[in-house]
Homo-oligomer: A and B are copies of this chain.
């Protein structure tokens, strides 16, 4: 069983979800497309780690609501203490940043500006999610509370987005100002 499979099981500890929802939820932690997730869910179902209930919908496609089984939970419990692999990061912008001296200040600025726009929307989204979770938890937070994992991950997503934006701002400041165009 590969890491993404464990990841899907992990997401299901938060409650029953469809494949589509799992795909969306796992994105910030582990990039994966639906074409990879659906076949894995089918395998997990066949091996007894998850089960699903088909739900017919009018005016929308039918769906399958998956939940984790006792067997799946047991698999997660033995996976958690196992050696954790190092995070994988691949960022095209950083490759471009290394050789940014090859371009004009104009192109350099738009490169950074695009990244700023991207992380501003992420920051907005995650801040909102964090705020909602905070008032749902209402001060109650410990390792055993159900929203704990979600809480620490959202906090991380928010501060990461902020750090990303700070770096972009700092780099922008180093770039020569173009008065005619900004």
Contacts and interface: CB of A to CB of B under 8 A. Distances in A.
B98 A84 contact: no
Contacts of A56: none
Interface of A: 3, 6-7, 9-11, 13-14, 26, 28-31, 73, 76-77, 79-81, 84-103, 105, 107-108, 110-111, 114-115, 118, 141-146, 148-150, 152-153, 155-156, 159-160, 163, 166-167, 170-171, 174-176
A175 B143 CA distance: 6
B7 A95 contact: yes
Contacts of A142: 174, 176
A111 B115 CA distance: 31
Nearest to A108: B143
B160 A94 contact: no
A47 B55 CA distance: 54
